[in-house]
A and B are shown apart, each in its own frame.
Chain A
Amino acid sequence: SQTIHQWPATLVQPVGSPLSLECTVEGTSNPNLYWYRQAAGRGLQLLFYSVGIGQISSEVPQNLSASRPQDRQFILSSKKLLLSDSGFYLCAWTYGAGVAYEQYFGPGTRLTVT
């Protein structure tokens, strides 16, 4: 069966510090991978998605970047955090192959920027 992991679970970082969140998927190959953010009182916003290694699409101009160094690893980064980067970050995966399959989500990372 497939499993999706995210870490860390919670993170408190000062403004201006760097960020690295990691997501890995087990039990499948060549998945589509996604990063979403859920800010307080707002819906889920798609930040980045990837259909393959090194292929990243950005949905929203922002202070964040994403990378996919391995097939089942997706990393969300920032060089300098802003207060507005606080939120609940969720990674998700789905089968690729160009068909809209069900999306499965990880447990999330709660980021607080102080």
Chain B
Amino acid sequence: KQEVTQIPAALSVPEGENLVLNCSFTDSAIYNLQWFRQDPGKGLTSLLLIQSSQREQTSGRLNASLDKSSGRSTLYIAASQPGDSATYLCAVAPYTGGGNKLTFGTGTQLKVEL
């Protein structure tokens, strides 16, 4: 059974700092990995999707990397801003089986302070 872990559970940084969020998964047979952002009381916003054949994806100040063999992904946020404060979730889709069923980590709660 796939298990996804995110460390740290919470993180507080000053504005402008670069930061890295970590995601690890136990079964490397994944089709893709997706990073989401969730604001309090809201749904999930997709940030980046990395296919299993890719090493990284970039969108603006965000860069996500994937090392499938070691079961790890990182989300790098450059020049953090207070608006980046949210919970960040990673999720993996299995390589086999239908339905694109995601397994989620429990998230990292990020606070960027002025």
Query: Hey, which bits of chain A sit against chain B, CB under 8 A?
Result: 6, 32, 34, 42-44, 46, 49, 51, 57, 59, 88, 90, 92, 94, 98-108, 110
Contact = CB atoms under 8 A, between A and B. Distances in A.
A103 B46 contact: yes
Given A34-B102, A105-B46, A106-B43, 11 more contacts: A44-B89, A44-B102, A46-B101, A49-B101, A99-B100, A100-B31, A102-B49, A103-B46, A103-B100, A108-B42, A110-B41
A107 B43 CA distance: 4
Contacts of B10: none
A89 B47 CA distance: 20
Contacts of B100: 32, 94, 99-101, 103
A51 B99 contact: yes
17 contacts: A34-B101, A43-B104, A51-B98, A57-B99, A59-B101, A90-B44, A94-B100, A98-B98, A99-B100, A101-B49, A104-B46, A105-B36, A105-B45, A105-B46, A107-B42, A107-B43, A108-B42
